Amino acid sequence: MKKILLIFLLAFVLAPVQAQDDELDLLFEQAANGDIEAQKIIGATYIQDGDYEMGVRWTLKAAKQGDAEAEYNMGFCYFKGLGVEQDYPQAVAWFLKAAEGGIVDAQYNLAVCYDNGLGVAQDYKEAVKWYTKAAKQGDADAQFHLASCYENGDGVKQSYSDAAKWYRKAAEQGDVDAQYKLGVFYNQGKGVTADFDESIGWFVKAAKNGDAESQYIISQCFEEGITYPGYDDYYEEWVELEAVPKDLRSAVYWCRKAALGGHAKAQSKMGYYYYTGTGLPINFTQAFFWFYKAAEQGDAFAQFTVGNCYLKGHGVEKDKKQAQLWLERALYNEKDVLEAEFKESAKFLLKQLRGF
């Protein structure tokens, strides 16, 4: 499900408890006399202070007078169930009013509701309509999801070039998911001319912003060393260009970051580094630690290796029952199929453990 952006709009910096008594009296007097801005300020401040019922009471007064920010805040309250019973259809109704009033967060949230069928019948075309409005106002989340719609053909004709355009707009605002997607697009030539340097550049940006998949990709680039064919203008010939030099220290650095971020393949690779002494000193205890983490997430190779560790006592006490359990999980893993050579090894080891 696409993420909904729940930001309460505040038009007033000074909370009532911080204001002077005469200022408060004036504010409440103005609100009682129908002043929209005063009603909105009081409502927003009550909600910020956790008095949701009073907050809704005053926010509703401003919303009923057509204030777009108050309309959005009412949508927020109904969506979260703050001061009112949670009611997605009511949230959508208020988001729609605010969205038509140009509130970008309302446009984005309305799009998410249509995209996921929250409080309204699922309608990808309507989702695209509101993502587009918010995206054109510069909202990075909307730009990313609009790009995703173009990439997958949800509610709009599939267009990789339009997807790339909107991913770029979001990526340039620092959206890490969009940065990763641009890395993929430039790597595969989807909607753009394939460009390894550009691809690596976006993966690095995403990796530095904490994207575990990008961190793992960069680590593998450093492990293998990446070269690609490119045209050398000076010599006027095609040559092998170096995109990423082979550097095991950097490979381990980025792989560890990805592993700490919960990336199963990175965790398995950290286990491999420790088990084989690749880029790190051999350490069976650390190897088992990382293989086990990956195995719990369903990584077949890690499951196979955990079984092997239990069998041999590498990094853990020998335990034939645990060895059999993990080897069977690896062998019959349907989501992450074990490579043929390891399948045969798993079958052989299981036969030995079963005694036939």
Q: Per-residue pLDDT averaged across 244-260, rounded? A: 92
CA 169 to CA 136: how far, in whole Å?
Answer: 10
CATH code, domain with 88: 1.25.40.10
Per DSSP, helices labelled H in 6-123 are: 21-32, 36-48, 52-64, 68-80, 88-100, 104-116
Q: Is residue 266 domain-resident?
A: no
Question: In the Cβ-directed half-sphere of 46, how many Cα atoms lie within 13 Å?
Answer: 22
Ranking 6-10, 51-55, 191-195 by mean pLDDT, the lowest is 6-10
What would the mean pLDDT of 194-216 be, rounded to a whole number?
Answer: 95
170 within domain boundaries: no
Could you tell me if 46 and 55 are in contact, meaning their C-beta atoms sit under 8 angstroms apart? yes
Instruction: Classify residue 139: in a domain, yes or no.
Output: no
Q: Give domain status of residue 194, yes or no.
A: no
| pLDDT band with cut points at 50, 70 and 90 for residue 48 | confident
Kindly indicate the confidence band of residue 231, based on its pLDDT and cuts at 50, 70 and 90.
Answer: low
Residue matched to tokens 């203008």: 233
Last residue of one domain, picked from the residues 80, 101, 120:
120
What pLDDT is recorded for position 234? 60
When mean pLDDT is compared across 14-28, 96-110, 210-224, 336-350, the lowest value belongs to 14-28
- Mean pLDDT, rounded, for 269-274: 97
Coil/strand/helix, residue 353: helix
What is the pTM for the complete model shown?
A: 0.85
Q: State how many domains the chain has.
A: 2
User: Contact 18/45 with Cβ under 8 angstroms?
Assistant: no
pLDDT exceeds 90 at position 35? yes
Residue whose entry in the numeric block shows the structure tokens 């801005």 = 37
User: Within a domain: residue 24?
Assistant: yes
Tell me the average pLDDT across 94-108.
97
241 occurs within a structural domain: no
- Residue 82: give the domain boundaries: 1-120
Q: Which of 103, 120, 137 is the last residue of a domain?
A: 120
Q: With a cut of 60, say whether residue 3 has pLDDT above it.
A: no
Asked whether residue 99 is domain-assigned, the answer is yes
Q: What is the DSSP string of 193-236?
A: ---HHHHHHHHHHHHHTT-HHHHHHHHHHHHH-EEEEEEETTTT
Domain contains 161: no
Look at residue 14 and tell me whether its pLDDT is greater than 50. Answer: no
Report the range of poorest mean pLDDT among 3-17, 116-130, 305-319. 3-17
pLDDT above 90: percentage of residues in the chain: 82
Angle formed by the axes of helices 320-331 and 340-354, nearest 10°: 140
Rounded to the nearest integer, the mean pLDDT of the chain is 91
- Residue 337 DSSP class: P
Residue 244: phi, psi to the nearest 5?
A: -140, 120
Res. 124: pLDDT tops 90:
yes
CB 42 within 8 A of CB 15: no
> Of 120, 145, 168, at which residue does a domain stop?
120
Tell me which of 11-20, 115-124, 219-228, 313-322 is least confident.
11-20
In 3D space, the residue among 247, 261, 189, 183 whose CA is nearest the CA of residue 217 turns out to be: 183
Q: What's the token pair of residue 262? A: 């919960």
